[in-house]
Amino acid sequence: MEFKRNIMITGGAGFIGSHVVRLFVNRYPDCRIINVDKLTYAGNLGNLRDIEDMPNYVFEKADICDFDRMLEIMRTYDVGGIIHLAAESHVDRSIRDPFTFARTNVMGTLSLLQAARSLWEDSGWMTGSSRCMFYHISTDEVYGALELNHPEGIRSDFSAHEVYGDSFFTEETKYRPHSPYSASKASSDHFVRAFHDTYGMPAIVTNCSNNYGPYQFPEKLIPLFINNIRHNRPLPVYGKGENVRDWLYVEDHARAIDLIFHRGEPGATYNIGGFNEWKNIDIVKVLIKTVDSLLGRPEGYSDSLITYVTDRKGHDLRYAIDSSRLHRELGWSPSLQFEEGIVKTVRWYLDNQEWMDDVTSGGYMKYYDEMYGRR
């Protein structure tokens, strides 16, 4: 079958990547989607069961640090666009093991960029107005941390930045990463921009806030706590629970990626977020209330599970994204209010206990290691 375009998505077996792969496979049947993933502990092809047999979907188990393999895949499939999500993504792991983060996030991105550059220079796509591009998915954490200096409760308000402009990360905010994770992502962002500025590679970077939704690995706050509440296990809240995060439903991130990949300006940066800030402790209370209510437990049943523990080292106080550029220039806004999204998310984890058990028991690793070789 002839495809109009071959799009390579790295990290497609992970949380956000699986939603992007699903969206593209379903929405663009005339394009072939090549999912390139190493299947680390965070990669689970079980996240893609519903689309794995589609004729326009291909999976390649490969490490983005392997330059020769990246070039081979790009040449084999005549790749005409890359969306790069593969990364080590968990801050706590980066504090314990920074080398792995430098390897994958920095060297892996560089090897992918070099392979893409080589392919594009060979085929002459570097000249002219081709929109074939290298789209790098990054995070708001590269901007550092904000103070708690504006009133609480500004939510889903795209004019908030006009009043409280300085209290948000904009595309112009200086990079001040604090954790080894965010330092590695910042470095990879710089390499992508360097390839645009030096070689003229049509590249885009987006920086998104915290995502939540189905298929997130249960080391991250929301799925971990939903599962713990369900099983009456302690909820380890770091420090006083006063850190603020800006939450976006994962499918809204995937829709933004689709829009930017097709209509974004090469060389540009877009921030992605829904103006939806919550203190961690308030999120925990919402999760307790929602899980208890969906399980038919009395109100307050799980309150005593809250356990304050030693704070994360270098814990960033507050993230808040100003995504008004994306809203203004490309018309994007989140489709889901948080109150709706969080109920949908809790319901998904409760309804998909088998997925959760498979992940927490490591069963998914055994299954796919037998199919694709040991990780």
Rounded Cα–Cα distance for residues 50 and 70 (Å):
26
Cβ closest to ligand NAD, residue 64 vs residue 145 = 64
With CB under 6 A as the contact rule, which of the stretches 66-74, 220-228, 290-298, 357-365 interacts with ligand DAU? Answer: 220-228
What does the H/E/C string look like for 294-362? HCCCCCCCCHHHEEEECCCCCCCCECCECCHHHHHHHCCCCCCCHHHHHHHHHHHHHHCHHHHHHHHHC
Decide if residue 109 touches ligand DAU (CB under 6 A): no
Rounded Cα–Cα distance for residues 215 and 222 (Å):
11
Q: Which positions lie near ligand NAD, rule CB under 6 A?
A: 10-11, 13-17, 37-40, 42-43, 63-65, 85-89, 104, 108, 137, 139, 185, 208, 210-211, 217
What is the CB neighbour count within 10 angstroms for residue 57? Answer: 19
With CB under 6 A as the contact rule, which of the stretches 25-33, 196-204, 237-245, 263-271 interacts with ligand DAU? Answer: 237-245
Decide if residue 10 touches ligand DAU (CB under 6 A): no
With CB under 6 A as the contact rule, the residue among 85, 224, 256, 326 that binds ligand DAU is 224
Q: Which does 269 bind (CB under 5 to 8 A by kind): ligand DAU, ligand NAD, none?
A: none
Q: Which of residues 141-200 bind ligand DAU (CB under 6 A)?
A: 141
Closest by CA to 31, choosing from 8, 14, 49, is 8
Q: In the chain, how long is the greatest CA-to-CA distance?
A: 65
Closest by CA to 20, choosing from 268, 277, 208, 218, is 208
Angle at 256 between CA 266 and CA 219, to 5 degrees: 115
Angle at 74 between CA 126 and CA 108, to 5 degrees: 90
Q: Which does 73 bind (CB under 5 to 8 A by kind): ligand NAD, ligand DAU, none?
A: none
Residue written as tokens 């998310």? 345
Q: Which does 238 bind (CB under 5 to 8 A by kind): ligand DAU, ligand NAD, none?
A: ligand DAU
With CB under 6 A as the contact rule, the residue among 34, 74, 91, 320 that binds ligand DAU is 91
Tell me the chain's radius of gyration from C-alpha atoms.
20
With CB under 6 A as the contact rule, the residue among 109, 139, 184, 187 that binds ligand DAU is 139
Q: Which does 323 bind (CB under 5 to 8 A by kind): ligand NAD, ligand DAU, none?
A: none
Taking the complex as a whole, how short is the minimal distance between the CB of residue 141 and ligand DAU, in angstroms?
5
Cβ closest to ligand DAU, residue 233 vs residue 344 = 233
With CB under 6 A as the contact rule, which of the stretches 70-78, 109-117, 161-169, 238-246 interacts with ligand DAU? Answer: 238-246
The pair of structure tokens assigned to 173 is 């905010």
Rounded Cα–Cα distance for residues 149 and 151 (Å):
7
Cβ closest to ligand NAD, residue 188 vs residue 302 = 188
Q: Which does 94 bind (CB under 5 to 8 A by kind): ligand DAU, ligand NAD, none?
A: none
Q: Which residues are catalytic?
A: 140-141, 181
**Strand, coil or helix: 207:** strand
Which residue ranges make up the site for ligand DAU (CB under 6 A)?
89-91, 139-141, 209-210, 220-221, 224, 236-238, 243, 245, 280, 312, 319
